[in-house]
Chain A
Amino acid sequence: MAIEIEKPSSVRLSKVAISKTHGEDSPYFAGWKAYDENPYDEIHNQSGVIQMGLAENQVSFDLLEKYLEEHHEVSSWGKGAPGFRENALFQDYHGLKSFRQAMANFMEQIRGGKAKFDPDRIVLTAGATAANELLTFILADPGDALLVPTPYYPGFDRDLRWRTGVKIVPIHCNSSNNFQITPEALEAAYQSAESMDLKVRGILITNPSNPLGSTIQSSVLNDILDFAVHKNIHLVSDEIYSGSTFSPSEFVSIAEILRNRNYKDAERVHIVYSLSKDLGLPGFRVGTIYSYNDDVVTTARRMSSFTLISSQTQHLLACMLSNHEFTQNYIKTNRERLNKRYDMIIQGLKKAGIECLKGNAGLFCWMNLSPLLNEPTRQGELELWNIILNQVKLNISPGSSCHCSEPGWFRVCFANMSEQTLRVALQRIHKFMEQRKVCSVNQ
């Protein structure tokens, strides 16, 4: 039996380890706990909490499964597994050429051919989580700042700041113009950073936006790029929902904007992509950085050593995504199905008397419950959120966890469940709203 000595003041872990910047104390994650303890099940637990806080795409799995059933020889290592050894040994941080080629093609198809991607500018990372952190390490020093439009994905607080020591300064957007990013808001954020003695190194936009569920207009993209040029800073465009726009014509990528400008000023632009949302494969950890800057590509590639994509997964996806017929069909069908889901939820919410921001992309809608707040404050929003979680039994994400400056907005996911479950969720919302009407009439 080993002698266990009484622990003296335990040797301290790092400041990064002790800090709360991992962000898990946010209500964004608290709702998940309620769900984990009492998850809804169509058959076994019909009164459980319905998870509407997880932006997953489950509407198109049958297409992926069908591909695998028809092509299993190709995508596994083949009969007798001749390719296994080579694949298991492949650890080159450039990544499989066939995979990068397939990713480049897929990204082009999503953009309807309106932009071209060079496979040699694609750097692989284990998920967009890693890609965003990696880019931050490359573009900014500890103590520097990135400007990020609000509302934004709560995970950015961890991904951009935790281990990097970089700060986020919000670009405030509000409902008066559908939360669009304006040149005034950009300038105000920049000034705000300067007044705090923070050196701004770049802007990070998410297009299509999470949590808004809408694409950024071409004119706004041009304004943002002009601003970045004017301040001589970087521009990162997180386009992980680009394949989830309901209509192909509505999404404009920063890559198109650059093409229209003949790639002038391109060396400050970097795109983050992933297959977690568009293909519904979050478990496979497939993220990419696409940069127009050679030094960034080289450095990012070196850093990707810490977070490479499993060669087994690269191989599978190289096969799948180089099948042109499959990808064309998938992109088209996926869009149609997401559009249908979106219509379903919007109609359902409208019937219940709830308005949403007009959306055209993504796996969620941005719901306006501000008329229901007891008080127009963050506190009021959290109180309402608690009621929805514990009484209506829906886990949705409060706008404050997305740093929205206006209380009362909520992100509601609709693609991570069956149509039947979505119907049940809408029924519960309807009932909840009916009850509130009755209550307010009786007051």
Chain B
Amino acid sequence: MVAMSKIATGNGHGENSPYFDGWKAYETNPFHPTERPEGVIQMGLAENQLCFNLIKNWLIKHPEASLCTPQGVNKFKETALFQDYHGMPEFRQAVAKFMGKVRGDRVKFDPDRIVMSGGATGAHEMVAFCLADPGEAFLVPTPYYPGFDRDLKWRTGVELVPVNCESYNNFKITRNALEAAYVKAQEANLRVKGLLITNPSNPLGTILDRDTLKSMVRFINDKNIHLIGDEIYAATVFMEPEFVSISEIIEEEDVECNRDLIHIVYSLSKDMGFPGFRVGIVYSNNDSVVSCARKMSSFGLVSSQTQHLIASMLSDGEFVDNFITENKELLFKRHKYFTWSLSQVGIGCLKGNPGLFIWMDLRKLLKEKTFAAEMELWRVIINEVKLNVSPGSSFHCEEPGWFRVCFANMDDHTMKVALLRIRTFVLKNNEAMVPLKLCRPSSLKLSLSRSLSRRMESPGIMSPHSPLPQSPLVRART
């Protein structure tokens, strides 16, 4: 038997995590409204599927964006030959513009600092290769995206040291927690090279406030370590307070900052709903990092065919403005309906303004305050309720009982089926339930009329609109 490498034979691929077990259950029995109505509903996949109509309409109006149409084929040859790892200038310009718009044009991005990668997955690994040697470490606040264990560690040999965050203060990242993690790393003889934050957060769905961001920038400056901001969910923030990027924070007057330490990972997989196109971006203020990352990007360039499409689409300013607005609108409606329905059966989630998922609080449903109990509950949810949700432990959450539930990756009908199943399950376990603190950012009075309640239970409702007419939240936004 001829041997493979240690990297190949180890578990660094991370697929043994329960995060993926639920996917397996889904794959063997996926929900379908007519063919498999009892199948597992996928709520473990953070995708944005609400905006496709808008995009399709744009594509139909712009056949030249595709190389395959009569209007676009004249660009075929030059595009097919273009393999320069700098990337197409029009692609970089369009992406830089988009990133600026998503941040309300409060900050400008330099197209020459944009480096391509194979999705955000490729971007994270590339940044790790650039900044750290094998055996060195990054600090990462918990709970965090399970894929980081693979992306940052597997082939790079870099370690991750968790920064513990807890529910008592809504999982805020405190200076104390950062310092504690740093000390812990030193005690384990690990040299810390950087801090990786995800903002907006996965799995919490919350955004970091200005003070926390400033505190983090000060922390990394004091320690002379890098700050990597994964901002792939930036455009999915649909209400106040607005998303604040680290690129904005470093421009503030009271912030001292060595810009060479600041790097952003971005992607179009979540904000635009294009995970298949593998558009990952590394944006760095550090010339050496840009230069090195660009060379490394040879291992994961964006297809020039896709660069051409994205360049066309994102340089259409009108489309981009519409998209950003409509995307927020649709996510807001979906989120509202979803969280309100959950609250009706006493299920709460973390306070905040998430994009594609909620951080659901099922602590009261645990038999005991342990991760074993969390796993038990999770198995019940998968096998009996037939929903694939992601258990908090797979995100390295310190407290058992939290689950990430995605809601933007399905149509309205499927969402209603999922909610009905949750409702049924909770009512069955009624004695365990106590009304919980609800997660709406403002105090919405909930007096559900009987007719409305009956409408909710009926699977026949297909309306995409909130069942609450004249919501003060909607009015406040406009």
Contacts and interface: CB of A to CB of B under 8 A. Distances in A.
Given A2-B256, A88-B55, A163-B155, 12 more contacts: A14-B130, A14-B193, A16-B129, A72-B70, A85-B56, A87-B276, A88-B277, A142-B134, A163-B129, A302-B13, A307-B300, A310-B302
Interface in A271-324: 276, 280-285, 293, 295-296, 299, 302-303, 305-313, 316
Contact of A306 (B134, B299, B303): B299
A295 B119 contact: no
B21 to A, nearest CB: 16
A8 B250 CA distance: 18
Contact of B303 (A24, A139, A144, A309): A309
Contact of B81 (A58, A302, A308): A58
B305 A307 contact: no
Contacts of A263: none
A100 B311 CA distance: 28
Nearest to A1: B253
A283 B304 contact: yes
Contact of A3 (B257, B275, B277, B288): B257
B271 interface: no
Given A13-B130, A24-B295, A282-B81, A313 B76 contact: no
A14 B298 contact: no
B8 interface: yes
Contact of B257 (A2, A137, A138, A296): A2
A238 interface: no
A72 B261 CA distance: 47
A307 B118 contact: yes
B80 A284 contact: yes
Contacts of A138: 4-5, 7-8
Nearest to B260: A10
A68 B305 contact: no
A84 B5 contact: no
B130 A2 contact: no
Nearest to B53: A85
A75 B276 CA distance: 16
Contact of A11 (B4, B55, B224): B224
Interface in A127-160: 127, 129-130, 133, 137-142, 144, 158-159
Given A80-B60, A137-B5, A283 B69 contact: no
User: Considering residues B133, B251, B260, B300, which has the most beta carbons from chain A within 10 angstroms of its beta carbon?
Assistant: B300
Nearest to B85: A129
A68 B4 contact: no
A130 B299 contact: yes
B81 A316 contact: no
A84 B55 contact: yes
B68 interface: yes
Contacts of B305: 283-284, 310, 312-313, 316
A283 B132 CA distance: 30
B125 A306 contact: yes
Given A65-B76, A137-B155, A89 B70 contact: no
Nearest to B158: A14
Interface string A46-84: 000000000010100100110011011001110011001
Interface of B: 1-8, 13, 15, 47, 49, 52, 55-56, 59-60, 63, 66-70, 73, 76-77, 79-83, 118-119, 121-122, 125, 129-134, 136, 150-151, 154-155, 193, 221, 224-226, 250-253, 255-261, 269, 273-278, 288-289, 292, 295-296, 298-306, 309
Contacts of A293: 2
Interface string A197-214: 000010000000000000
Contacts of B15: 302
Contact of B8 (A268, A299, A309): A299
How many A residues touch the partner, as a band? 35 or more
A282 B304 CA distance: 9
B304 A5 contact: no
Contacts of A284: 80, 303-305
Interface of A: 1-5, 7-8, 10-11, 13-17, 22, 24, 56, 58, 61, 64-65, 68-69, 71-72, 75-77, 80-81, 84-85, 87-91, 126-127, 129-130, 133, 137-142, 144, 158-159, 163, 201, 232-234, 267-268, 276, 280-285, 293, 295-296, 299, 302-303, 305-313, 316
Contacts of A80: 56, 60
User: Ordered nearest first, which 4 A-B pairs have the shortest CB separation?
Assistant: A311-B276, A283-B304, A310-B303, A76-B68
A316 B133 CA distance: 39
A306 B5 contact: no
Given A84-B52, A312-B303, A77 B295 contact: no
Contact of A312 (B255, B258, B309): B309
B258 A313 contact: no
Contact of A133 (B3, B67, B299): B299
A137 B7 contact: yes
- Indicate the member of A89, A158, A299, A311 with the most B CB atoms within 10 Å: A89
A17 B129 contact: yes
Contacts of B309: 312
Contacts of A316: 67-68, 305
Contacts of B13: 299, 302-303
A283 B303 contact: yes
Contacts of B256: 2-3, 5
A42 B4 CA distance: 51
A88 B53 CA distance: 13
A312 B310 CA distance: 11
Nearest to B74: A65
A53 to B, nearest CB: 14
Contacts of B221: 5
Given A10-B260, A307-B300, A312-B303, A126 B275 contact: no
Contacts of A133: 299
B304 A305 contact: no
B388 to A, nearest CB: 16
A81 B80 contact: no
A178 to B, nearest CB: 30
B118 A126 contact: yes
Contact of B306 (A56, A81, A129, A310): A310
Contact of A17 (B257, B288, B298, B304): B288
A81 B68 contact: no
Contacts of B122: 306-307
With most chain A CB atoms within 10 A of its CB, the pick from B15, B225, B288 is B288
A177 B211 CA distance: 72
